[in-house]
Chains A and B, each alone.
Chain A
Amino acid sequence: EAQVTQNPRYLITVTGKKLTVTCSQNMNHEYMSWYRQDPGLGLRQIYYSMNVEVTDKGDVPEGYKVSRKEKRNFPLILESPSPNQTSLYFCASSSAGTGFQPQHFGDGTRLSIL
């Protein structure tokens, strides 16, 4: 089954404790992206990647890091989490094919930073 898998689905942690949210896709997609969803703000793009070892900032990259060492994986790293990073996070991927292919989303990771 074609899917984007995020782990963990839920995490409660404390300020300053480094954490990583993993994202993996099995569709051989070139493009991957991370978003955060907050009430009243919709989805905002954090980082994206258009190829292995190619990443770039979205609209809200502060406090986050990403890496793309393999095509299928795109982890999101919070080096020193703070309460304002409490949010619902989504990873997405899409093909680089013609016609602006739609994104496939994971089921989300709900992070609570105390």
Chain B
Amino acid sequence: GQQVQQSPASLVLQEGENAELQCNFSSTATQLQWFYQSPGGSLVSLLSNPSGTKHTGRLTSTTVTKERRSSLHISSSQTTDSGTYLCAIDLNSGTYQRFGTGTKLQVVP
């Protein structure tokens, strides 16, 4: 089965609303990263958060390792936040990461 599951698959928000994206994984993870993929396809790392809570700008990630889940909260969404958000888990103790299928976010004016 899918080792990294993300929800929802897609989300439409009005500009200014907050978004909550979820990532659940099937095994213990030593590394967890959130990535953003632009509508044009480019991929960038947003933040790394294997446990606890981390903030960067309008993004907050909370990872509960024991419960094998992580969330990404986007506050005061902007149209430029539109794109796909990917969660990646290191399931092999540092060898490589597996990606979820992503949450496609659309922020409308």
Do A and B share a complex? no
Binding site for A on B (CB under 8 A): none
Binding site for B on A (CB under 8 A): none
